[in-house]
Amino acid sequence: MKRILFGALLVALVACTEPREPPADADGATRPNILLYLVDTLRADRVGAYGYPKPTSPTLDRLAAEGVVFEQAYAPGPWTLPSVVSIMLSQPSCRHGVEIDGVKISPESTPLAEILADAGYRTASLIANAYAGRPAGLERGFEVYAGPVDDPARHVASFLEKTDEAKPFFLYVHDVRPHDPFDAGDEAMALFGDVDHRALKRLRNRSLRYRRLTRVDHAAGDPPGTTDNTTEQRQALARLDEMAARYRQAYDARVREADGELAATLDVLHDRGVLDETVVVVLSDHGEEFGEHQGWLHDQSVYDEVVRAPLIVRLPGSEHAGARVDAPVSLLDVAPTLADLAGVPTPDGAFEGTSLVPRIEGRAVGGEPLVATIRLNRKKYFRPWKESRGDHNLVVRDGRWKAIWNVEPDTIELYDLAADPGESRDLHAAHPDVAGRLRARARDYLERCSARRSKTGPPEKISKEALERLRALGYVD
């Protein structure tokens, strides 16, 4: 009851004061609860609230109607590990350095959970993809850390049951349903096409085979490029092209199932009477390619199908319901936003993102072109892409423009997303001034970032159960 009253008070305070007064309290009792809900591999454009016409996301759409939708949010990286670490530390991968498995965050870094725990939050991490958890040092700051967890709703209920109700909570959930291999159930598959178990099994086998082919050298302990299996990879890609419709169906079905689990989690909060005093943030760590730029799966490119992520923020009392923010933002901004909404100060220089609260409130925000995503590939090898894109790419967004600086060949691609959202016409030659300006921004950013690079910690031994899970997701062979 006390929490509900304080929650109402907080909503009133947030609505009336300008600038925001943090609801500071020695024991944190007046701070809002936070649910940070990550759906692995969820493409923004497969969500109804982002314009997808198929029924993948009734819960996300409801949440979007009650919250604020960021139209152009960018994942910090094109695959799970660097992206999740970036979200939790609000640092780009060139600074935190967790760019391949086997390293963990620097002991000097301050993850969001630690900052909130120090401010009096009860904290829990419930994650299905163990990759971006304890092995990377991301258990820090969580009093409860559980994984792999497939049914977060049940764990959320039990966590809330067992902990001190007088304190606010910070819950982090990482669901992995839309990640291949797509183990979609019949009910969800039937919403998007016919149910054919043999075809689904064939699809799973083909995606796993393709994934293995991309990193035979890494699996063997050789430097990528030792083996040139371009021909086999081309065949594997063609075999996925043949199953494109089935791939999209299975993916949509898994998104629908993830949406159902989110609904169950929100129901737990609702039934306990705390949903309306909770900040709910739903996002993803990256998207998925469906052959748009000749690839499948993720982490091989930085086109929007892979790096544009959904970002939906529902505030207590549904404040600013229905607002949509069109400006490009980075998911590095999520941790500073949550600290801001919680009224919790952050250590100087720890976070590189900036709070999105001014944007949520409709205030103008200026600044330099946004360096939105960094890809540094150390695992996979496909000669045609190695030659054209290289292994290191930075995405810069400025208004309608999206530039991709391919670091090693030192080339720049330039797309006008307003006219060409599919990134099919490279305009760098037609607009050398824009391309040059964004390339200079990317170069400068990388130079400064590398100078601030953290020393990563030693690797952590991974449990047998977690290893099995990673094998099932295709992360290890």
Stretch touching Zn ion by CB under 5 A, among 22-30, 74-82, 359-367, 419-427: 74-82
Task: Please report how close the Cβ of residue 79 comes to Zn ion at its closest, in angstroms.
Answer: 6
Q: Does residue 174 contact residue 113 with C-beta atoms inside 8 Å?
A: no
**Alpha helices in 282-400, H assignment, sequence order:** 304-307, 334-342, 357-360, 383-388
Nearer to Zn ion, 40 or 423 (CB): 40
Number of amino acids touching Zn ion (CB under 5 A): 3
Beta bridge partners of 347: none
Nearer to Zn ion, 269 or 395 (CB): 395
Query: Is residue 175 a contact residue for Zn ion (CB under 5 A)?
Result: no
Nearer to Zn ion, 32 or 178 (CB): 178
Stretch touching Zn ion by CB under 5 A, among 14-22, 39-47, 289-297, 313-321: 39-47
For residues 207 and 200, what is the distance between their CA atoms, to the nearest angstrom? 11
Nearer to Zn ion, 285 or 304 (CB): 285
Say which residue the tokens 């748009």 belong to: 292
Count of CB atoms situated within 10 Å of the CB of 68: 24
Count of CB atoms situated within 10 Å of the CB of 295: 22
Q: Which two tokens stand for residue 348?
A: 């100087």
Nearer to Zn ion, 285 or 413 (CB): 285
Query: Is residue 285 a contact residue for Zn ion (CB under 5 A)?
Result: yes
Query: Is residue 80 a contact residue for Zn ion (CB under 5 A)?
Result: yes
Query: Is residue 40 a contact residue for Zn ion (CB under 5 A)?
Result: yes
Q: Does residue 114 contact residue 140 with C-beta atoms inside 8 Å?
A: yes
Nearer to Zn ion, 40 or 289 (CB): 40
What lies within 8 Å, CB to CB, of 386 at 6+ separation is: 225
Nearer to Zn ion, 335 or 344 (CB): 335
Q: Which two tokens stand for residue 384?
A: 């045609």
Stretch touching Zn ion by CB under 5 A, among 111-119, 268-276, 280-288, 414-422: 280-288
Task: Please report how close the Cβ of residue 405 comes to Zn ion at its closest, in angstroms.
Answer: 23
Query: Is residue 301 a contact residue for Zn ion (CB under 5 A)?
Result: no
For residues 106 and 166, what is the distance between their CA atoms, to the nearest angstrom? 32
Query: Is residue 288 a contact residue for Zn ion (CB under 5 A)?
Result: no
Query: Is residue 180 a contact residue for Zn ion (CB under 5 A)?
Result: no
Q: Does residue 88 contact residue 346 with C-beta atoms inside 8 Å?
A: no
- CA 179, 182, 187, 192 torsion: positive or negative? positive
Could you give the string, one character per residue 239-278, with x where binding to Zn ion holds by CB under 5 A and - elsewhere?
Answer: ----------------------------------------
Query: Which residues in this chain contact Zn ion in the complex, by CB under 5 A?
Result: 40, 80, 285
